[in-house]
Every structure is written in C-alpha cells, then in structure tokens.
C-alpha cells in the first residue's frame, strides 16, 4: 500500500498480478487509491452500476482526486532517491539519540534492513502506552504498534517472532517520518522521548 515511497514499483510489477496503492501514503488525497491489474486477470466487482473503472468499481469518478493522486505519485517517483536518503539520515539520528540516552533502549531493526521512514525502538522497563500519553503532551505523535494493530492488547507477534522478549516489547515505540519531517522535528521528538522515558523509569511505569 505504501511501497511507492520507498522502492521503484517498476521493479516489482513484473512479479505480481495485482498491485494496490493508497494515495495518502505518498502524499496524495485521502480516500484515493490505485489498482494495477495484469491483463488477463479477472476480478469480480464489489460494486455494480454504471460500469466505471472497466466494470471493476462502478461510481462517479473523482476527477480531482485522480489528478491529485497522479501528481503525488509523479512527485514521489522523481524525488524518491533523494527523499529516502534524507529520511534515512533523520531516522538514524533519532534512533542513535534514543539508544545512547535512554537506559534499556534498543533499535529493533538493523538500519540497512529498515524502511527509511520508520524508526522503531523498544525501551525495557517502560510501558509504551504511558510513553504515548506523555509524548502527546509534548505534541509528539508516535505509536505503540503498526497502524493496522493499534488498540491490540496482546504483545506484537511480529516482535516476538523477531526474538524480542516481552519486557522489551511492552516498551515498543514506532516513529513515522515523511516528506514534511524536518531536523527540528527530530530534535523535539528525541528530547521529548528521552525526558519522558527517564521520568517513567524513575517511577517504574
């Protein structure tokens, strides 16, 4: 859904039959998407009516949304290499500050294996939900899990499969970076996270 930000989809398309993209993931309008279907692949429509989208999804076209999606994808494609390098530098700086300044903080993914726009750390001895509350008071938006798993009460099965113990998983934090993220944003996020973590470690929450 969001791979367009990080990789050239021309390298992926030869290996798939259907590809879907969510426009807001690469700066396009919310509620818009792209589906590319290989010739010869038959899909049963979920909506019937006017026969738009080659009978795959009936309904009046959102022309402004379509144009906005196309433009956002074009900009993403032309700026991908530069933007990935920029975000990777910001991400690494954030993780380095957190790991160096917070006892028990670890990076969960090797830098070379991680998406440029996601910084993920776990802090032993800290409850991630408590961190979210404190960081919200600093206007720093983070998550304790992936967006599709937010609200889940059980520890992340993905982090468990990666070999992390539950004491670390309970302090899981995910920072998402994007085209509007600046070095100043990273500095604020780092200092706020460090101060919040130290506060919680002192009281054991």
pLDDT tens string 190-201: 999 999 999 999
Catalytic annotation present for 5:
no
Residues 127-147 pLDDT 10s: 999 999 999 999 999 999 655
pLDDT at residue 106, rounded to an integer: 95
**Mean per-residue pLDDT for 67-88?**
96
> What pLDDT shows up at residue 105?
96
Provide the total of helices (H) and of strands (E) in the chain, helices listed first. 5, 5
Decide if pLDDT at 63 tops 90.
yes
Q: Are 139 and 108 in contact (CB under 8 A)?
A: no
pLDDT for the residue numbered 76: 95
* CA 173 – CA 195 distance, rounded (Å): 15
Burial of 70 per CB tally in 10 Å (0-12, 13-18, 19+): middle
Domains, in order of start, for the chain: 3-77 (no CATH), 80-203 (3.90.1150.10)
**DSSP helix/strand/coil, 68:** helix
Q: What is the pTM of this model?
A: 0.83
């Amino acid at each position: 859904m969001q791979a367009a930000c990080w990789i050239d989809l021309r390298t992926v398309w030869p290996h798939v039959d259907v590809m879907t993209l969510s426009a807001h993931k690469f700066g396009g309008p919310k509620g818009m998407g792209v589906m590319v279907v290989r010739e010869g692949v038959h899909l049963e429509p979920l909506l019937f009516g006017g026969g738009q989208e080659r009978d795959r999804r009936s309904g009046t076209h959102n022309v402004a949304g379509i144009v906005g999606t196309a433009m956002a994808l074009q900009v993403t494609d032309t700026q991908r290499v530069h933007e990935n390098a920029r975000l990777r530098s910001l991400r690494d700086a954030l993780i380095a500050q957190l790991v160096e300044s917070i006892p028990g903080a670890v990076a969960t993914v090797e830098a070379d294996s991680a998406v440029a726009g996601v910084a993920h750390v776990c802090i032993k001895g800290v409850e991630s939900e408590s961190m979210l509350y404190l960081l919200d008071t600093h206007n720093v938006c983070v998550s304790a899990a992936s967006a599709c798993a937010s609200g889940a009460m059980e520890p992340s099965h993905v982090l468990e499969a990666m070999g992390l113990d539950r004491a670390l998983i309970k302090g899981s934090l995910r920072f998402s970076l994007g085209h509007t993220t600046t070095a100043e944003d990273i500095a604020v996020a780092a200092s706020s996270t460090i101060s919040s973590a130290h506060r919680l470690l002192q009281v054991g929450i």
